[in-house]
Amino acid sequence: MTLSPEDKVIVLASDGVWEFMDNQEVASIIYPFFLTNNAEKASESLVRAAFKKWKEEESYSIDDITCIVVFIEIK
């Protein structure tokens, strides 16, 4: 994959995040943290949101929820 100047964020996440969340939902969760340049808080917020989704969808089990959020700037 070739990154371009329009690319701003890389999200590496386990299926525990993607099971009940799509790209747009993930982007809307992490975008406010992009504006403040706080990738750590973006990751924490994403994990919390994924956990909440699991509780709503399958209250009897939760898959592993792991993510890394990286803010990038390509010149």
Per-residue confidence (pLDDT) for residue 10, from 0 to 100: 96
Per-residue confidence (pLDDT) for residue 73, from 0 to 100: 84
Answer whether 0.75 is exceeded by the pTM. Answer: yes
Calculate the CA 62 to chain-centre distance: 17
**If we measure between CA atoms, which residue out of 72, 22, 71, 9 comes closest to residue 49?**
22
Per-residue confidence (pLDDT) for residue 61, from 0 to 100: 87
Per-residue confidence (pLDDT) for residue 64, from 0 to 100: 92
Q: What is the CA radius of gyration of the chain?
A: 13
Per-residue confidence (pLDDT) for residue 69, from 0 to 100: 98
In the chain (75 residues long), the average pLDDT of successive 10-residue segments reads: 91 96 97 96 98 91 94 84
